[in-house]
Chain A
Amino acid sequence: MKKMPLHNLHLKLSAKMGEFAGWQVPLFYSSIISEYKQCRQSVALFDISHMGEFIFKGDIEKSGIEKAVTVWIKKIPVGRSRYGFILNNSGGIIDDLLIFKINNDKLLFVVNAAAESIDYKILKKSISCGYLENISTKTAKIDIQGPLAKEVLAEFLNCSQVIPYFGFIEFDYQGEKILISRTGYTGELGYEIFLPNKFVLSIWEKFISHEKVKPAGFGARDILRLEMGYNLAGQDLDDTITPLEAGLSKFVNFSKDFTGKAALVEQKKKGVDKTRVAFVVSSKRIPRPGYKIYYQDKEIGEVTSGSFSAHLSSGIGLGYLESPLTPPACRDYSDIKIIVGNNKKVKIEAQIVNLPFYKKGSLRKGSGLHS
């Protein structure tokens, strides 16, 4: 299993380690719930160095790289990033990713660890000119997330810098550049910081020495993202699920050409086979991935993500309904009561709801129009 550059530090902090996408990662340091609260109330620091990063340099339009992704790269303003997908020919999601426009001929792609090598192959194959480099092994990533993250960052940078939501800056650090992006996976105001491995320990220690900051692991991160309804690629999204089925069509630009477009256009006409839903459980019991979803005693779908919402103090989950409920024309499932469980003994009542589960997130705070 692969080790992150801060592996020894996590061991020193007595983190409970676990496996994620072939990497050894910290699940929690003290407790998942307390680290969750740290992020919702103050600032949490995460080591997310397993993620994949590629740099593209060249003429974006001529290279053909647009074809590989669902977002229109040429329309991303310099200094901003956008969320999108790499699809297969059937419109299935190979991966979700962020594309950062560093300048008009330089991009940073940030992809999931599990799909890193296939993403790289696809992007590489899509370009006829220009240059694509996989910088994953030499790049670390730490996320600093929480309502007070802005002041913590200002102390680190020695100045108050306004970075809009989905904007980023390049910061000179000991002669090299680190990229600080106003994005995250928690629903709180925060930053994702991309930096060379050699700086990660010193920068981690600078942040962690701040009284408002504590480390948080992948366990807390999973609750945080799930409360926002953010999907986890490989779990809530995979190559048999299209963005339309996942309810993510706003991240697909139909006015450009991209791999998988024809299948999505067809699906738009015919309608989807399955629909992603979010649900709240009527107890503290946790719906686990793989549990079936039942409606009026009939199996209608499956849970893809589930956890305990510390905010709602109950179990929450995401899943897909394989066939439309009656009446079939009804697309708004909210308030419908379902049962989730395994075939054996677990049967939990649940109610379909609209996302997000957590509506008070500080993610856009002080960020232009959304402040």
Chain B
Amino acid sequence: MSIYYTKNHEWAKVEDNIAMVGITEYAVSQLGDVVFINLPESEKSYKQDETLAEIESVKAASDIYSPLSGKVTELNSKLDNSPETINNSPETKGWIAKIEIINSDEINKLMNKEQYQQHLQTLK
């Protein structure tokens, strides 16, 4: 399994042709308390960088973009009732969806962990 990141602070854990998707610790630290998430539609295909989900914290509403193009195969429906899981555990229990990757070349557009850490440094 390999983990990749976007500039918008989504992560994708890729295993075979499935990517588990969520938002990073940094994203959560910027959002504050998450109170609502509008999950993607099951079975629907999303393009890379297309709005996959909407998230609302007390502070702001933001879009979550799909790190890769693909079809949604599984949703973390537990987030409907306990969106705060994203605050408590953004990079494990707070995953948002699993998508079946259509075009693995798109992974080249993502950052690895080291590159993402460097990206965060530029935001300070």
Contact = CB atoms under 8 A, between A and B. Distances in A.
A286 B56 contact: yes
Given A284-B83, A286-B56, A31 B61 contact: no
Interface in A109-140: none
A124 to B, nearest CB: 37
A285 B32 contact: no
B interface bracket (residues with beta carbon within 8 Å of A)? 10 to 19
B58 interface: yes
Given A27-B59, A32-B59, A284 B36 contact: yes
A346 B62 CA distance: 12
A223 B83 contact: no
B58 A219 contact: yes
Interface in B77-95: 83, 87
Contact of A31 (B33, B38, B54, B56): B33
A219 B61 CA distance: 14
Contacts, number: 43
B68 interface: no
B17 to A, nearest CB: 30
B35 interface: yes
Contact of A308 (B35, B38, B54): B35
B32 A283 contact: no
Interface in B48-104: 54, 56, 58-59, 61, 83, 87
A33 B61 contact: no
Contacts of A283: 36
B56 A219 contact: no
Contact of A32 (B32, B36, B56): B32
Contacts of A31: 32-33, 87
A223 B58 contact: yes
A286 B58 contact: yes
Contacts of B29: 16
A28 B32 contact: yes
Given A284-B83, A285-B56, A286-B56, A32 B61 contact: no
B80 to A, nearest CB: 9
A219 B60 CA distance: 11
A346 B51 CA distance: 13
A286 B55 CA distance: 10
Nearest to A342: B61
Interface string A319-359: 00000000000000000000000000110000000000000
Contacts of B36: 283-286, 308, 315
Given A31-B32, A32-B33, A288 B58 contact: no
A223 B32 CA distance: 14
Contacts of B32: 16, 27-28, 31-32, 219
Interface in B17-38: 29, 32-33, 35-36, 38
22 contacts: A27-B32, A28-B32, A31-B33, A32-B58, A33-B33, A33-B58, A219-B32, A219-B58, A219-B59, A283-B36, A284-B35, A284-B36, A285-B36, A286-B36, A286-B58, A288-B61, A308-B35, A308-B36, A308-B56, A308-B58, A315-B35, A346-B54
Interface of A: 16, 27-28, 31-33, 219, 223, 283-286, 288, 307-308, 315, 345-346
For the complex of A and B, 10 pairs with smallest distance between CB atoms:
A284-B36, A33-B33, A308-B35, A32-B58, A284-B35, A285-B36, A308-B58, A286-B56, A31-B33, A32-B33
Given A32-B32, A284-B83, A285-B56, 15 more contacts: A31-B32, A31-B33, A33-B33, A223-B58, A284-B35, A284-B36, A285-B36, A285-B38, A286-B36, A286-B61, A307-B58, A308-B35, A315-B36, A346-B54, A346-B61
